[in-house]
Amino acid sequence: MEVRKFILHIVAYFAVFFLFCILVVFAVGWLMGRASFELPAEVNTVVLGDSHVECAINDTILDQTVNLSMAGEAYLYSYLKAKTILKANPQVDTLWLAYDFNSLEEWKDTLTRSERYNKYKLPFHFFMLDAEDLHLFVDQFSFYSVLARTPYMRRRFIKLALRSSTTYQDLKIGGYQYLVRDRLKADVAKKDSAYLEHAVRTPHFGKAMDQVEYLDKIVALCKERNVTCILLNTPTHSVVARDADTSAYYAYWCNHLQGTTLWDHSAWELPDSCFGDATHLNHWGAERYSERLKELRSLGWPTIDREGRTAADRTKNENTLPVDITANEGRIP
């Protein structure tokens, strides 16, 4: 009899503790949900996505633009932020969304299916999840363990929220990353070695089911809100395109992402000093790239070629060549 009572006490203790954890997590979610997502009135463009746009778009240079990208960001989290931001800011009419050669590769579903990324992302975004989003996590133990630890992980925000009003900036859900990195040479050498040894990962673009689901939701959300959705592929080193299935990349956009605009800037010509590694711009590259985007915006977004040049740029270059060199010859390395 005493053993039975002891077991019942243990069960009751764990039930109370479990209920307490649930209530605390809901309380933290409520505090986070109270944060203001209102952007400055002049902002009409929001940038979302992973580390490629996080490091490439310097929103202190680009006026009317806010970069809320975050390294390792799955389209799930971009969708949650887009839904919340667009609801709070009717003046936003344009979304720039990261869409690179790996965005829909099969392995990208680790962004929503691994403890590593759940630990990194859920404490910052869980309060924006709807019931329909929970199917991604219902069978993942890490989802519950991370939520149980979230109050401790967000303790600084909780202290701030209990003292004063908060904004999206206090939530730390993304922003421009001033990247100080100089690993291009080593990264290119590593990729070249893998390429020569036929060790490059076999491309499976469009096979990341979670990524596909939430990219579709973002596109649908933009259509519903009458927001222009621009898919952005930022400048990269040439080895990145070499190792990717670029045909599948363009085909997927043509066949599945109607109503969006693709800005493929991957082949824009930038000095090696602008790259932190093969896929990321460092702060020098971000400054140069953002200044160029600012210039193009001021010109009304003229048509550009693969290298990022307008017709006027090409004419100017041709006019500055020596008389004995043709325009095409002048571009040969």
329 part of a folded domain: no
Residues in CB range of 73: below 8 A, 6 or more apart: 48, 49, 50, 51, 54, 98, 111, 121, 174
64 part of a folded domain: yes
| Tens of pLDDT, residues 190-243 | 999 988 887 777 788 999 999 999 999 999 999 999 999 999 999 999 999 999
Q: Residue 30 carries which side chain, given as an amino acid letter?
A: W
103 part of a folded domain: yes
Confidence of residue 8 (pLDDT cuts 50, 70, 90): low
283 part of a folded domain: yes
Output the domain CATH number for residue 138.
Answer: 3.40.50
Residues in CB range of 139: below 8 A, 6 or more apart: none
326 part of a folded domain: no
Burial of residue 232 (number of CB atoms within 10 Å: 0-12, 13-18, 19+)? buried
Task: Please tell me the predicted confidence (pLDDT) of residue 330.
Answer: 31
Mean pLDDT value across residues 265-275:
95
Q: How far apart are CA 132 and CA 296, in angstroms?
A: 40
208 part of a folded domain: yes
Percent of residues, the chain, with pLDDT higher than 70: 90
Mean pLDDT value across residues 23-48:
95
Round the average pLDDT of the chain to a whole number and report it: 90
Structural domains of the chain, count: 1
Q: Evaluate if residue 12 carries a pLDDT over 80.
A: no
Strands 65-67 and 45-48: parallel
Confidence of residue 326 (pLDDT cuts 50, 70, 90): very low
Mean pLDDT value across residues 23-44:
94
Q: What are phi and psi of 48, to 5 degrees?
A: -130, 155
315 part of a folded domain: no
| pTM listed for this prediction | 0.89
Local structure of residue 48 (DSSP, 8 states): E
Per the structure, the complete domain to which residue 201 belongs is given by 2-301
322 part of a folded domain: no
Q: How far apart are CA 12 and CA 24, in angstroms?
A: 18
Percent of residues, the chain, with pLDDT higher than 90: 80
